[in-house]
Amino acid sequence: MGVTPNSKSYREIKPKKTDRVKIDLSKKDKRKYRLRESDEKLSHTTSKINFGLHPLRSFQELSNGLRVILVSNPKDDTAESDLVEKENSNYDMASAAVCVRVGSFNDPDCAPGLSNLLSRMLLLSNEASNDFQVHVSAYAGQCGSYTTNEYTCYYFHVEANQFHQCLERFISHLCEPTLCANRIEEQAKKIDDEFSQIKQRDYAILRQFVSNLAKEKSPFNRFHKGNQSSLRGQMNRQPSELRDMLLDHFKNNYSAHLITLAVQSSAALDEMELLVKQLVSSLPR
């Protein structure tokens, strides 16, 4: 599905006339780009771009509000030899990432660090041997997650021939996370260990100092990283209680209209679009 200036998912960006870039690069500069005044008209961006070997792209918003970015990077059939393919380590790899518009600013006041804990729990299974990380590692892949003030991101890459099943499992964690109580304590301890390591570093001290300057009810005036003490609270919550809080946090915040999914592979755009719609259309708005 294309994006045109009249479509719902298209938004033209109009820079302010006062915002000017006053840098004029010399003609002797060998770089291919040249900075100009930013108040010039921006050219419209089409949803499918094909410049030789450059990837094809598609930007869509599904009926449940979930935004999808698809990037098709077809293989180069004109490669001179198999050696070219072997030298490119990412040649037969595919990847996906999910960004959720929920971060530490959304933590409940009684449990700072809950979003951080959820990001670590979401891709885990009942047993460590069955974790998503273990699964993708078996096919030369990696996965990870991180939490910022306003966003939480999950990502992975894997061999292209295993991408379909890995993406299906990746999305299933987003739809119905396991959030096993027996894994919560170990993840809370990891958060606590990380906090102990960084709390004496200059940037962490400065960041906390700036946070303390914010108004008391501002989300910036919070303990963002979290540790075991903040997660357990004054009532010394047990893993089963933390699991209930994680489930509530997930149900209240992880809705489709707050999620953006990006997928990159060598498959055709139409094929990728069909696969993604089958997997994420059930996510509630």
User: Residue 44: is its pLDDT beyond 50?
Assistant: no
Residue 77: predicted pLDDT: 53
Mean pLDDT of 116-142: 93
Question: pLDDT tens digits, residue range 216-242?
Answer: 888 888 888 899 999 999 889 999 999
Tens digit of pLDDT for each residue in 145-173?
999 999 999 999 999 999 999 999 999 99
* Chain mean position to CA 31: 31
Given this model, what pLDDT does residue 203 score? 84
Q: How confident is the model at residue 281 (pLDDT cuts 50, 70, 90)?
A: confident
Lookup: tokens for 170 = 């990746």
Neighbour tally for 124: CB within 10 Å: 21
Q: What fold characterizes domain 58-280?
A: Cytochrome Bc1 Complex; Chain A, domain 1 (3.30.830)
The whole-chain average pLDDT of the chain stands at 80
Residue 177 has pLDDT above 50, yes or no: yes
pLDDT > 70: percent of the chain: 75
Torsions phi, psi of 75, nearest 5? Answer: -65, 150
Q: Where are the domains of the chain?
A: 58-280
Report pLDDT digits (tens) over 250-272. 999 999 999 999 999 999 999 99
Predicted model pTM: 0.75
Under the banding of pLDDT at 50, 70 and 90, the label for residue 92 is confident
Instruction: Please state whether 34 falls in left (phi above 0), alpha (psi between -120 and 50) or beta.
Output: beta
Q: How far apart are CA 261 and CA 281, in angstroms?
A: 12
